[in-house]
Amino acid sequence: MNDQDRPALPRVGVVGLGAMGLGMARSLRNGGYDVGVYDVRPDVAAGFARDGGTAFASSGDLAAEVDVMVSVVVNAAQVESVLFGADGAANRLRPGAVFVMCSTVDPGWSAELEGCLADRGVLYLDAPISGGAARAAAGELTMMTSGSAAAYAVADPVLEAMSSTVYRLGAEAGLGSKVKIVNQLLAGVHIAAAAEAMALGIRAGVPAEALYEVITHSAGNSWMFENRMAHVLAGDYTPLSAVDIFVKDLGLVLDSARPEKFPLPLAATAHQMFLQASASGLGAEDDSAVIKIFPGIDLPKPAEV
Tell me the three-class secondary structure of the chain, residue by residue.
Answer: CCHHHCCCCCCEEEECCCHHHHHHHHHHHHCCCCEEEECCCHHHHHHHHCCCCEECCCHHHHHCCCCEEEECCCCHHHHHHHHHCCCCCCCCCCCCCEEEECCCCCHHHHHHHHHHHHCCCCEEEECCEECHHHHHHCCCEEEEEEECHHHHHHHHHHHHHHEEEEEECCCCCCHHHHHHHHHHHHHHHHHHHHHHHHHHHHHCCCCHHHHHHHHCCCCCCCHHHHHHHHHHHHCCCCCCCEHHHHHHHHHHHHHHHHHHCCCCHHHHHHHHHHHHHHHHHHCCCEHHHHHHHCCCCCCCCCCCC
> Considering 180, 248, 261, 292, which one is annotated as catalytic?
180
CA distance 67 to 69: 7
CA distance 159 to 244: 28
CA distance 154 to 94: 13
CB 274 within 8 A of CB 247: yes
Q: How far is CA 26 from CA 53, 133, 144, in A?
A: 10, 11, 20
Active site residue 248: no
What does R_g of the chain's alpha carbons equal in angstroms? 20
Torsions phi, psi of 250, nearest 5?
-70, -30
Catalytic positions: 180
